[in-house]
Amino acid sequence: MPLTLPPSSSFSFLSPTAKSTHSHRFFTIPHASTTQLAPKPPPVIKTAPVIVIGAGLAGLAAATRLNSDNIPFLLLEASDGVGGRVRTDVVDGFLLDRGFQIFITAYPEAQKLLNYNELNLRKFYSGARIYYDGKFHTVADPLRHFSDSLLSLGNPIGSVLDKLLIALTRVRVLSKSYEEIMSADEVSTIQLLKNVGFSDSMIGRFFRPFFGGIFFDPQLETTSRLFDFVFKCLALGDNTLPAKGIGEIPNQLAAKLPSDSLLLNTKVVSVDSDDSNSPSVTLESGEILKSELG
């Protein structure tokens, strides 16, 4: 007959080696718990008129515009700082920009949003020094460094025709407005350069390393519109970096925003819309933020 025990009980058995009937081993079987865990409370829902995801330059510019129009917002950033790929780290006292960074002063939106004097911009030479065949060779802006450009006509970084085509490309982009450039027919940058007539050596030794670094696209598949836009900005403005690193640009934008509008270390895992088409944002913490604007 099986042994049946009460929900919580003790029982004993006689040890086989015991010399006394009083030598016992005791075991306790705990009562089976019937307590259930309390249900997890639903995530806290907060609301904000506008939610901007990502505090890179685009997100910071959007937040700046909202702030200037007195529209409340929350700017959410997953990392511990603003800027996205445009950041500067301080390592052993050295300022290290992340990636290939250059700031061209002729960017139209930058002129509207930034205080150049506060950035303490430092100018670069208007041209490039290219290492090829064991030597450095100069490709100079002919309008700013005319004598240098004459000396560079015979170097192996492209032919004389290539240098003439650079001048003609400059005239072409300067003759168009930014709006015309951005609405023009487009091909890839590499296809545009070939259509213009640049040689393979000029593309490989100058355009690919230089614009490939600017676009983060060594294959130059970026749209020709962006190439023309950047080429025009290079022709009109200076190539610079802030004295304290490229990170000073996003830092300046962020400093102008309300302190409670920027949330760092706040990772978004999903963006959803309910039946009212009012978007909501779910954070990695489980918290839900809901936009008050549909």
Domains present along the chain, CATH in parentheses: 43-122+244-293 (3.50.50.60), 125-237 (no CATH)
96-123: buried (b, 16+ CB within 10 Å) or exposed (e) per residue? ebeeebebbbebeebeebbeeeebebee
Instruction: Give the whole-angstrom CA distance, residue 83 versus residue 254.
Output: 9
Tell me the CA distances in angstroms from 248 to 5, 167, 233, 266, one per residue in order: 74, 33, 20, 22
Q: What pLDDT, in 10s, does the model give residues 163-216?
A: 999 999 999 999 999 999 999 999 999 999 999 999 999 999 999 999 998 898
- Is residue 294 over pLDDT 70? no
DSSP state of 219: T
Q: How confident is the model at residue 237 (pLDDT cuts 50, 70, 90)?
A: very high
Please compute the mean of the pLDDT values over residues 209-226 and round it to a whole number: 94
Looking at residue 50, what is its pLDDT?
A: 93
Contact 266, 76 (CB under 8 A): yes
Over 70: is that where the pLDDT of 3 sits?
no
pLDDT at 116 over 70: yes
Beta strands in the chain, from DSSP E residues, in sequence order:
9-14, 24-29, 45-48, 50-53, 73-76, 88-91, 94-97, 103-104, 121-123, 127-132, 135-140, 239-242, 262-263, 268-273, 279-283, 288-291
pLDDT at 265: 96
Cα–Cα distance measured from residue 215 to residue 229, given in angstroms and rounded to the nearest whole number: 12
User: How does pLDDT run across 127-177, given as a tens digit for each residue?
Assistant: 888 999 899 999 888 888 889 888 888 899 999 999 999 999 999 999 999
DSSP 256: T
In sign, the C-alpha dihedral spanning 251, 247, 216, 54 is negative
